[in-house]
Amino acid sequence: MSGSPSQSTSVPGPVTPETMRDALGGFASGVVVITAQGPDGPVGFTCQSFSSLSLDPPLVSFSPARTSSTWPRIRELGRFCVNVLAADHEHLSAQFARSGTDKFAGVSWLPAPSGSPVLEGVGAWVDCTLWNEYDGGDHTIVAARVDALGADPERLPLVFFRGGYHLTQRELS
């Protein structure tokens, strides 16, 4: 590879939500469910934009859509758990992405130290306290302090890539 941009016969067009989705859909990501224990019971939502942010202090980041009706309720609580979904949790991703339903119907969980739900069988969980929020256009960028965490190294992650869920190479073997 020469280090030069790839040759293309087409002139790039405007950056639209569709072109962003098409281009950046080539970046594989995991899928998480953010949960909290509210006064009326547990709440949660699916989120694809999650990452480790800092080791010192221990921080993670995720970005809920500004249209989320669940994030404002969790923000008020200030404590929540990031559940890293495992490869067989496609159904949980879909269930927690729906609005207007009981997202916890039929879902087994145990409380994290904060009391927030840790969903059964997740690959990892990260119990957090809200640290800060930043404007992210049509999303909010959330920085959260890690208070406790755990992982099951035997569980493979749920991977989202180019608009769908995919198996990891290890699962194909």
> What would the pLDDT profile of 71-97 be if each residue is shown by its tens digit?
999 999 999 999 999 999 999 999 999
Q: Enter the tokens of residue 94.
A: 């879909």
- Is 171 part of any domain? no
Cβ atoms of 59 and 146 within 8 Å: the answer is yes
As a whole number of angstroms, the distance between CA 143 and CA 70 comes to 17
Domain count of the fold of the chain: 1
Q: Domain of residue 140: give its range.
A: 17-163
Residues paired with 84 in a beta bridge = 32, 124
Cβ atoms of 73 and 103 within 8 Å: the answer is no
- Is 85 part of any domain? yes
Half-sphere exposure of 74 (CA within 13 A, CB side): 29
As a whole number of angstroms, the distance between CA 139 and CA 76 comes to 17
Q: Is the pTM of this model over 0.75?
A: yes
Give the list of residues 6+ apart from residue 161 with CB closer than 8 angstroms, or none. Answer: 25, 26, 27, 28, 29
- Is 58 part of any domain? yes
- Is 55 part of any domain? yes
- Is 7 part of any domain? no
Name the amino acid, one letter, at 109. W
Predicted confidence (pLDDT) at residue 170 exceeds the cutoff of 80: no
Residue 124 belongs to domain with CATH number: 2.30.110.10
- Is 91 part of any domain? yes
- Is 141 part of any domain? yes
- Is 11 part of any domain? no
For residue 172, what pLDDT is reported? Answer: 46
For residue 1, what pLDDT is reported? Answer: 45
Q: Enter the tokens of residue 149.
A: 């965490």
